[in-house]
Structures are given as C-alpha cells and as structure tokens.
C-alpha cells in the first residue's frame, strides 16, 4: 500500500535514472495532456512530497500520485515492460532509461512556478528535507503539524486526523494503525481527547524514517515475515503484547489525500492495550 516511505523510495529510484538527463521522448497517456511533449527538457530532480511524486525540469513539474495501485518502474531502452502497456499513464525516455508510471491515480503537468501552489494544502512532510536542515527547521515543522492536528474539530477520530494530509503528509492507513497502537490510543478516539500530540507527531516521523530504506515495513522491530506489524491486518489474531484478540472496524470518512477524496478507512486495534 503506497504511503510516504513507498513514494520516497520511488522518487529516489527515479532520481537515479533521470536526474541530469535530457528527455528524448515523453508520452502522457491521459486525455488532458495527450499532446504535451517535453522532449529536450533536462530533468533537474525527482522528489517526494508526502505521498506525491514530482519530476522536475526547469520549466515543468510532472506531478503524480500513486493512489492504491500506482507504480513507477525503470527499464533499459528496448527492455520489455513488466506490466501491460495499456496500464501506462506516463512514459519518460532518455538515452539510458525508460521510466513508466503505471496505473497512476493522478497525473498533472504543472508549470514549475505553479507547483508550490498546487500542493500548498499539504501539511509538513514527515520525510521532508526540512526536518534535517537544522534543529530550528525541524522544530518548526513539528510545531506546525501539531498545530494543524490541534485545530482539527475535536470530535474527529484520531485516525482520520492523522490520515488527513492537510495536517501532516506521508502517513497512510498502515502507519496510522501502528502509530495508534504504539501510543496506546484507540483509532476512533476523538482527536480532542488525545494527549501529547507532539509525541504522536514525533513517533509518526520516526516510523517513516526507520522504514524509508527498507524493502518491507517493520514497526515491531522484528524483520521477519508475519512478525513485522503490531495490529494492521491482524484482526482476530492475538496481540503481540497481551494476547487479546485484535479487533477490526471502519473509522469515519477520512480525507486521505485531498479535500475532494473522502474514504472510509479500516482500523485495527487491541482493546486491551489501546484504551
């Protein structure tokens, strides 16, 4: 399930394949940009912004969002694609690589100058460079995330507030469920009743940072199949801490990635460890 760590890794792979190279061919397989041609543009960088991925040239920003099924793959010129061509939404070619975005949920071609405004609604990116720029920058980002969570209507479930990318960018349903367990908070607890929001934000960032270089997500500290997560996807199984059966339910209507994309979210919790 694509979350902030997945997009961070995808951006790193695409940056290695595209940065500094000239685009020799582009193919946007979405009606709005079917005639767009960025051939001759040189790629400056590829970066992640929460769950959003940006391929930047001096003039343009190719903005994509994976949603549930999306994926970017890198091929050598002439190499057979490993997914059907009809699933491709964007094809970017250089002399050394063919980069294909399959089943992308969102594809936009933005003037570079308009990129910041298009993503201005997003909260602080938990994997953003600003956290490592300086202690002051990190403190500012953390304080902004806490302030946005605190400004959420107090009766909103904490899981919904954490999934809302307007509060903080990068957390998806897996991390939110695991974060709630680690903090001992039921995911349906109203955000107004959640103590120590700074600790919640700090742990959310630490979970993402700990997994941004991993192949598989690990929140338990045990990197073995079937032992990596505390509660997510484990309904009916015993809690790894107390043995109580993990419960499953649906939480509210979460604004997951934009103000126009409401979704119900599945939640998992231990009724003993999370009160």
> Residue 230 has which token pair?
């505390």
DSSP element (H, E) containing 199: helix 197-211
CA distances from 155 to 162, 168, 179 (A): 13, 18, 19
Please work out, in degrees rounded to the nearest 5, the angle formed at the alpha carbon of residue 165 by the alpha carbons of 9 and 225: 45
CA 209 to chain CA centroid, Å, is 12
- The answer to whether residue 2 is catalytic is yes
Is residue 232 within 8 Å of 127, Cβ to Cβ?
no
DSSP labels, 9-63: HHHHHHHHHHTTPBPSEEEE-SGGGTT---TTPBP-EEEEETTEEEEE-SSEEEE
Q: At residue 23, what are phi and psi to the nearest 5 degrees?
A: -75, 120
Among 3, 93, 108, 115, the active-site one is 3
Among 2, 124, 157, 187, the active-site one is 2
Is residue 98 within 8 Å of 79, Cβ to Cβ?
yes
- The answer to whether residue 3 is catalytic is yes
- The answer to whether residue 195 is catalytic is no
Among 51, 148, 205, 217, the active-site one is 51
Q: Smallest Cα–Cα separation from 7: which of 67, 57, 74? A: 67
Among 56, 148, 205, 265, the active-site one is 265
- The answer to whether residue 183 is catalytic is no
Active site residues: 2-3, 51, 265
């Amino acid at each position: 399930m694509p979350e902030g760590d997945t997009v961070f890794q995808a951006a790193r792979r695409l940056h290695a394949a595209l940065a500094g190279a000239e685009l020799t061919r582009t193919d946007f397989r979405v009606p709005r940009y079917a005639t767009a041609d960025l051939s001759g543009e040189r790629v400056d960088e590829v970066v992640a912004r929460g769950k959003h991925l940006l391929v930047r040239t001096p003039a343009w920003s190719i903005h994509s969002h994976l949603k549930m099924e999306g994926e970017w793959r890198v091929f050598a010129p002439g190499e057979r694609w490993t997914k059907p061509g009809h699933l491709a939404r964007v094809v970017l070619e250089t002399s050394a690589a063919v980069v294909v975005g399959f089943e992308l949920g969102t594809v936009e071609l933005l003037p570079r100058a308009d990129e910041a405004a298009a993503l201005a609604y997003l909260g602080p990116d938990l994997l953003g460079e600003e956290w490592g720029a300086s202690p002051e920058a990190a403190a500012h980002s953390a304080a902004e995330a806490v302030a946005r969570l605190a400004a959420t209507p107090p009766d909103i479930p904490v899981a919904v507030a954490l999934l809302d990318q307007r509060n903080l960018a990068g957390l998806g349903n897996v991390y939110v469920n695991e974060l709630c367990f680690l903090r001992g908070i039921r995911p349906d607890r109203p955000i107004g009743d959640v103590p120590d929001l700074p600790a919640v934000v700090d742990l959310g960032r630490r979970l993402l940072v700990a997994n941004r270089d991993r192949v598989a997500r690990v929140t338990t500290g045990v990197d073995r199949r079937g032992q990596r997560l505390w509660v997510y996807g484990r309904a009916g199984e015993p809690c790894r801490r107390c043995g109580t059966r993990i419960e499953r339910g649906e939480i509210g209507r979460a604004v997951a990635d934009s103000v126009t994309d409401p979704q119900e979210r599945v939640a998992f919790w231990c009724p003993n460890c999370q009160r």
